[in-house]
Amino acid sequence: MQPPSWTNNHPSLIVRRGSNLESKVTMADVLAALQQAKSTSKSDAALRTLSLISIDHWVSHYYLFLLPMLFPFLKAQLGVGYIELGLAITVTGVVSALTQTPLGYIVDHLGARKILLLGLVIHGGAFILLAVHLTYAWLIGCAVLFGIANSVYHPANYAILSEHMDDARMGRAYAIHAFAGFLGGAMTPAIAAALTTTVGGTGALLVSGAMGPMIALLMIMIGVPDAGAKHTQDRAKAGKTSIMTPALITLTVFFMLLGLSSAGISNFGLVALMNGYGESFSTANIALTAFLGASAIGVLSGGFLADRTRRHGQVAAVCFIIEAAITLVIATVTLAPVLLVAAMTAAGFLGGIIVPSRDMLVRNAAPAGAAGRAFGLVSTGFNFSWILSPILFGWIMDQNMPRWVFGASAGFMIVTVLLALWTDRKTVEPEPKLAQP
């Protein structure tokens, strides 16, 4: 009789060598270890993918806000006025609006990875070109490149996330992705000021431009996964799928109204509070900062909420109703500074919560194999809001109606509630997959 031995993974079990029990226990241990290793490997790959996609979303928002931060430098160097400089922003917005959906189609057919890498290189390279050829003509030409590159991120990013993130954690993945974009925009003024002070305006363009190609290289080295166009059959199927569905068209309008409601407060809230409410610059600045900061925190919170419900339209509607009510109070009542900051904080937080549910609505409405085109189409709504909001809210301020900055924003929120509820009824969400342990 052979002495008993301890198994590696189950030391509490004593089996005889060569027995059937030992064979069964060992096989079970091997299978369990392989399953756990596979789960861990998949989880690590998803984390790497989310990190890379969030980094490129950070730089996309940094690039989006960089040019306005350099307006004083560009005005002095080019000898033009702010109207001419503003035209460059308009050109970027118009080009983005025209190219967003076509690039979504390209993402679905050629693959998201190569289009994303190309977009990063073009975006960064355009800033480097502007630094080397600092003329107004080159500024407008580079603005066209900015618009094309800016159209890449949403279709490519969301296609990759939708394909490689666990369904049970998709809301949180979207939230982290969106938060990275918020953070990139929030950090732009400080980074641009630091670069301009240390290396000058031209140096700021060169250093910032180098970020895009460097992140593209990082993605190649670490290995960002692809999405869309997995094989010929998928491409053929995706090519026959129409994205012009009532739900996606409605979501495009939803995105435009959402952009208009937030852009009015973000871009004109400071001057509206000072001119219409008699608030000091310090109080108005604190209130707006609280609004923007709470929005970013709300995005992260909304990710957890989006993973715990399938009624994303209802989540968005409830948050919008409360945010609209708070915004209407700000529009009609002159609040004490403390109450004003509290109201702006609450409104920003509720607006942030909506973002992951908004993205889940698009994912659920997207036909199979068409995530890039679906997100490209609905993101066009943001481009239209980017073009329209300065005209609309600038006109409101020129008419000396600063309170209507908040009143109009609340109106857009109320209309958006109806669209969110309608879209929630029209989208069919797949059964969620269980999260891996």
> What's the confidence (pLDDT) of residue 262?
86
Q: What percent of the chain has pLDDT over 70?
A: 83
Convert the pLDDT of each residue in 111-146 to its tens digit: 889 999 999 999 999 999 999 999 999 999 999 999
Categorize the per-residue pLDDT at 33 as very low, low, confident or very high, splitting at 50, 70 and 90.
Answer: low
CB atoms within 10 A of CB 12: 6
> Which pLDDT belongs to residue 56?
94
DSSP summary character for residue 168: G
pLDDT per position as a tens digit, 155-178? 899 889 888 888 788 888 888 998
Return the pLDDT at 139: 95
| pLDDT for 284 beyond 60 | yes
DSSP assignment string, 265-309:
HHHHHHHHHHHHH---HHHHHHHHHHHHHHHHHHHHHHHHHHTT-
Residue 326: predicted pLDDT: 96
* Most confident region among 205-209, 318-322, 431-435 by mean pLDDT: 205-209
Neighbours of 270 (CB within 10 A): 18
Task: Provide the pLDDT for residue 424.
Answer: 61
Please name the residues in contact with 231: beta carbons below 8 A apart, sequence gap of 6 or more. none
For residue 241, give the amino acid letter. Answer: T
Give the residue from 102, 60, 104 showing the smallest Cα distance to 375: 104
Among residues 250, 264, 279, 424, the alpha carbon closest in space to that of 351 is found at 264
Residues 6+ positions from 355 with CB-CB distance below 8 Å = 174, 175, 178, 298, 299, 302
Query: 271, exposed or middle or buried, with CB in 10 Å at 0-12, 13-18, 19+?
Result: middle
Give the per-residue pLDDT at 42.
66
A 10 A CB-CB count for 44 gives: 10
**Is the pLDDT confidence value at 34 over 80?**
no
Q: Is the pTM of this model over 0.95?
A: no
The answer to whether 172 touches 303, Cβ cutoff 8 Å, is yes
- What pLDDT is attached to residue 90? 84
Give the C-alpha separation, 333 to 374, whole Å: 41
- pLDDT: is 100 or 16 the higher one? 100
Over residues 368-423, the pLDDT tens digits come to 777 778 888 888 888 888 788 888 888 888 888 989 999 999 999 998 888 877 76
Is 69 within 8 Å of 201 (Cβ atoms)? no
**pLDDT at 210 (0 to 100):** 96
Average pLDDT, the chain: 82
Mean local confidence (pLDDT), 186-212: 92
Q: How many CA atoms lie within 13 A of 180 on its CB side?
A: 20
pLDDT tier at 2, thresholds 50, 70, 90: very low
Count of other CB atoms within 10 angstroms of residue 38 = 11
pLDDT given for residue 25 in this prediction? 53
Q: What is the DSSP string of 234-246?
A: HHHHHHT-----H
Which pLDDT band, with edges at 50, 70 and 90, does 426 fall under? Answer: low
Per-residue pLDDT tens digits for 293-352:
888 899 888 888 888 877 888 888 899 899 999 999 999 998 999 999 999 999 999 999
- Domains for the chain: give ranges and CATH numbers: 48-240 (1.20.1250.20), 243-427 (1.20.1250.20)
Q: What average pLDDT score do residues 233-246 get?
A: 62
Question: If pLDDT is split at 50, 70 and 90, which confidence band does 435 have?
Answer: very low
Q: Which band of pLDDT confidence, cut at 50, 70 and 90, is reported for residue 14?
A: very low
- Taking 80 as the threshold, does the pLDDT of residue 436 lie above it? no
Q: Is the pLDDT of residue 26 over 70?
A: no
**Residue type for position 55:** I
* Buried b / exposed e along 241-253 (16+ C-beta atoms within 10 A): eebebebbbbbbb
Dihedral class, residue 29 (left if φ above 0, else alpha if ψ from -120 to 50, else beta)? alpha
Task: Report DSSP state, residue 10.
Answer: -
What percent of the chain lies above the pLDDT cut of 90? 31
pLDDT at 125: 96
The structure tokens listed for 274 are 């000072």
Q: 243 vs 255, 366, 375, CA distance in Å?
A: 16, 7, 10
Per-residue pLDDT at 15: 47
Asked if the model's pLDDT at residue 277 lies above 90, the reply is no
| Residue-level pLDDT at 216 | 95
Q: Which of 64-78, 126-140, 195-209 has the lowest mean pLDDT?
A: 64-78
Asked if 66 and 188 count as a contact pair (C-beta separation under 8 A), the reply is: yes
**Band of residue 201 on the pLDDT scale cut at 50, 70, 90:** very high
The predicted pLDDT at position 346 comes to: 95
d(CA 392, CA 252): 19
Using CA of residue 37, residue 38, residue 40, residue 44, what is the dihedral sign? positive
Compute the distance between CA of residue 109 and CA of residue 127 in angstroms, rounded to an integer: 28
Q: Tell me the residue length of the chain.
A: 437
Token look-up 């490129």 returns 56
pLDDT at 241 over 70: no
Confidence at residue 1, expressed as pLDDT on a 0 to 100 scale: 44
